[in-house]
Structure 1
């Protein structure tokens, strides 16, 4: 073979090989990662996020490859997990707990080509988006039910950490319950964990000992519902339906539906339209759903539905004045509604809530 023919052939082969590699790369699946604070078997918060991951796989098939790390503690462990995912070729990583906020931002700066989405946080960057649900809307619905269903006029609330998201939920539930039952009181136990079935069960028992006959929670396991079932009181599912854990005690649930959001955001990465945005949606969008009613009288269900329908229609806001803060100072005047900035930073109880808010 003449040298020029050989070189020409080599060039053609190289071009073909390069083209082939380009096509292979174009067909490589988009790698999407998820970091969970609890196990996917919690049947609550992390379980629902993982249902969203599975929905992404079902929607896009072999165009995507998803992975997850579960039970990742907030803090240095989260940073290591994030860095590991970013280094392994993931194009998009969802971090699904409040305490992942700063680790997400730190790792995102080290991997500017990777896109990150942080759930329930408030800090954004060029490659970091935030997303969350208006859980407080769901609390207003179940708070209405709780206010009507309690016979001791004492509602219990198992709280995780004193962050605005949790404080908002307590206030919303209490205001809704008090609106239908002026005599209602709320007792709160802080467990300082997102998921610990033992601590959650102990908290439920402590609240029952204080006279609570309806229990709410902002923790992730169904343990409080199992205690409610055993003790013959009422409770609500949290993040997932949890119906199977308390077939008699469970009145309803706040259900987080992340699937549509995850499908949309992965699709944006695939078609190149992804941008760092802030998303905070609620019942109207379907991101927050209310579970079926169980053992709820028709008139109580109708009252709860009226709250839900009003939220969807925009005619009802759970934080509508007149509302005072716990210390008696004025917060919202009659007819005035809270702005999102105040709600996102809420660090106070409303008037009538028992106990001191931990710092």
Structure 2
């Protein structure tokens, strides 16, 4: 963890411990001893990055703001940003639970174990963890099928590349990221089997410096299209500077690359957060696993950029509609990994269990999957 992240997290935890949960608060406490007739329902959010990352944490915070807009003074929201995965996360989550929050959303894969630990301590508090798989009576899980957006992105990249080299900036080799790389590569090779995907892991979700350095390295290796699963706009900005093509991650990044961005995979948490807060407030909340995709609008594609040809837009739109309807299955067999082993047999489709544990690259990726 960087010194900067520690400073922010440490101050936040101390502030929480002092009862000063001011970050993101929608309602302030009244002066005097009289309590409000109806205390607001308290909802907390824990973010791995800053809300200004214009990517993952930014989109989750847009969901928090949607909750505030929907419920007004019936709900009080709190957010804590720049929380490192591990012990710091457990302290922050624990303090949110201890300070009277009724529902807590933790929004990074590395928050899974800390969330589960705290949920055991506070059985009357409801918890929801994004992208994980550990559940309990008071702990639900949720995620979006981001990989559904990566297949049409691969198709667009395959049509638009001139160098046949695609640069892919990845954070960590976890199943969510590997699924995305595989889905992208399947889409790419469906229209351009000669294109090569070069992958660099930066071992961070949000680190503009590392992301920029990775993008520069990939461009030096011949990439004229940049794809990312990291959260800053650094790669998009570089693509704009150099006249390349890029794809936004988690949110629409066109402001950073008005000419470079072909489209973006946008994570839409607004409806989900509003619905889950409503359920928690009216007593219908239950622990469950939600995994929405293009067909539920948890994942949707940003408007196409000016460089995308009309015929490519039409091709991508047709594929998106087939994914939405279920007519097209991205991970249908036969599928081999890049070592030649059959992973999905002909006539079968990879199950959700298979997707959630995906730890192999598909045929056509000339790289070794790094160890976690």
TM over 0.5: yes
Q: Does 1:234 align with 2:245?
A: yes
In the TM superposition, residue 329 of structure 1 has moved relative to its aligned partner by 1.1
- Aligned position for 2:332: 320
Match of 2:308 among 271, 283, 296: 296
Q: Distance in 1 between matches of 2:36 and 2:335?
A: 58
Match of 1:178 among 175, 186, 189: 189
Alignment of 1:165-244 (within 5 A): 165-244=176-255
- Note the alpha carbon deviations across 1:241-294, whole angstroms, 9 max, x for none: 010000111000000000000000000011001101000010000000101011
TM-score, with structure 2 as normaliser: 0.89
Q: Provide the rounded CA distance (Å) in 1 between the counterparts of 2:98 and 2:335.
A: 49
Aligned equivalent of 1:49, options 60, 84, 101 = 60
Change (3 A) 1:26 1:138: farther
Alignment partner of 1:267 is 2:278: yes
Residue of structure 2 equivalent to 1:308: 320
Query: Which residue number in structure 1 is paired with residue 23 of structure 2?
Result: none
Q: How many Å separate the matches in 2 of 1:26 and 1:91?
A: 18
What's 2:19 paired with?
Answer: none
CA distance in 2, matches of 1:62, 1:302: 45
Aligned to 1:20: none
| Other structure's SS at 2:264 match | strand
CA separation in 2, counterparts of 1:332 and 1:164?
16
- 1:125 is aligned, of 136, 146, 150, to 136
In 1, the alpha carbon distance for the partners of 2:155 and 2:54 equals: 24
**Cα distance change on mapping 1:264 and 1:26 into 2, 3 Å:** farther
Q: Which runs of 5 or more residues in structure 2 are unaligned?
A: 1-33
**Superposition deviation, residue 321 in structure 1:** 2.0
CA distance in 2, matches of 1:310, 1:336: 18
- In structure 2, the residue matched to 1:79 is 90
Larger Rg: 1
Task: Give the CA RMSD over aligned residues.
Answer: 1.1
Corresponding position of 2:257: 246
1:3 matched to which residue of 2? none
Task: Report the alpha carbon displacement of residue 25 of structure 1 after superposing the two structures with TM.
Answer: 6.7
Unaligned runs of 5+ in 1: 1-22
Q: CA deviation at 1:32?
A: 0.1
Tell me if 1:58 matches 2:69. Answer: yes
- Cα deviation, 1:148-180, whole Å, max 9, x if unaligned, reads 111111111100001000000000000100001
Q: What does residue 298 of structure 2 align with?
A: 287
How many residues matched?
A: 337
CA distance in 1, matches of 2:132, 2:116: 11
CA–CA distance in 2 between the matches of 1:356 and 1:236? 24
Q: 2:81 aligns with which of 56, 66, 70?
A: 70
TM-score computed with the length of structure 1 as normaliser: 0.92
333-342 vs 312-321, which moves further: 333-342
| 1:60-114 superposed Cα distances (whole Å, 9 cap, x missing partner) | 0111000000000000000000011011100000000000000000011111111
TM-fit CA distance, 1:232: 1.4
**Partner residue in 1 for 2:105:** 94
Q: After superposition, give the CA deviation of every residue in 1:207-266 in whole Å (9 maximum; x if it has no partner).
A: 111111111101000000001111111101100001000011100000000000000000
Shift of 1:317: 1.2
CA distance in 2, matches of 1:76, 1:185: 39
Inter-partner Cα distance in structure 1 for 2:196 and 2:135 = 38
- Aligned residue in 1 for 2:368: 356
Secondary structure of 2:43's counterpart equals strand
**Corresponding residue for 1:347?**
359
Once residues 274 and 250 of structure 1 are traced to their aligned partners in structure 2, the CA distance between those partners, rounded to angstroms, is 39
Per the alignment, residue 9 of structure 1 pairs with: none
8 Å Cα contact 1:147-1:180 kept in structure 2: yes
| Kept in 2: contact 1:188–1:354 (CA 8 A) | no
* Matched residue, 2:158: 147
